[in-house]
Amino acid sequence: MNFIKKKGFYVPVSIIIYFVLLFNLPKIIGALTIASTVALGAYLFKKNERFKKKGIISKVLTIIALLVVFLFCGIGGLIYDPVSVERHELATEKLKQEEQLKEVEELKEKQELALKEEADRKKIEEEKLKAEEEVKKIAEEEEKIKAEEDKKKQEEKSKIQAEEHKRQAVEQAKVEAEKRKATATSKQVAEQSSTYVWLSETGEKYHNISNCGKMNPNRASKVTLEKAKSGGYGPCSKCGPPR
């Protein structure tokens, strides 16, 4: 147990214990340190004869050492406030966390913005597609209407054409009928003008033969059917002349 009494052991151990106490009871240890340094200074300069005999440099160094301990450990211990230090550390930590949170939020915002832009782009594309479809639909409908109108027009046209054809056919039929009638009439006239019948001297009929009934053939006259008819003669019912 001899090593406990050695300077190399108890001086550093005392210093460590002193600083542990100083950090745990800063106010009390600070006040004790102030009192001790002042007392030690007074003792060294007033009472200690050995110290009084030392050189000026040693005295100045001792004063500086006492001042340093007085200021840093004494005054420092009195001022040191673990709560405020803790508060400061907490505030620093909080600030750091807030900064991190802010960064995260900024990242999130960026991502949201990107998502929104993507959505907007998609929406615009969809609207474009919709508009194109509508245009297509309208064009198709217009085409349909046009086709229907064309069909209607075509039908009307064919109807008019059919009516025209009908009218023309009727006209032609009429013309042909008239032509036929004219032909027949002219044929009849020609026939009548080339067909001969017999007229008696007194009768009002025309005959196929010159000696029909009591007719005197020597007095009968041969005339065309046309002339007989225009002269007011009618056909005989006995010999059957042409009519």
Which residues of this chain interact with Zn ion, rule CB under 5 A? 207, 212, 236, 238-239
Of 108 and 238, nearer to Zn ion (C-beta) is 238
C-beta of 222: minimal distance to Zn ion in Å?
Answer: 14
What residues have CB less than 8 Å from 80, skipping those under 6 apart? 23, 26, 30
Residue 195 is encoded by which pair of tokens?
A: 């067909």
Cβ proximity to Zn ion: between 30 and 207 the closer is 207
In the complex, least distance from residue 199 CB atom to Zn ion, rounded to whole angstroms: 10
Kindly state the smallest distance separating residue 195's Cβ from Zn ion, in Å.
Answer: 15
CA distance 224 to 194: 6
Residue facing Zn ion at closest CB distance? 212
CB-nearer residue toward Zn ion: 22 or 215: 215
Residue 37 vs 200, nearer CB to Zn ion: 200
Sign of the Cα pseudo-torsion (16, 17, 23, 29, in order): negative
| 225 and 196 Cβ atoms separated by less than 8 Å | yes
Output 145-148 pairs: Cβ under 8 A, ≥24 positions apart.
none
Q: How far is the CB of 215 from Zn ion (least distance, A)?
A: 7
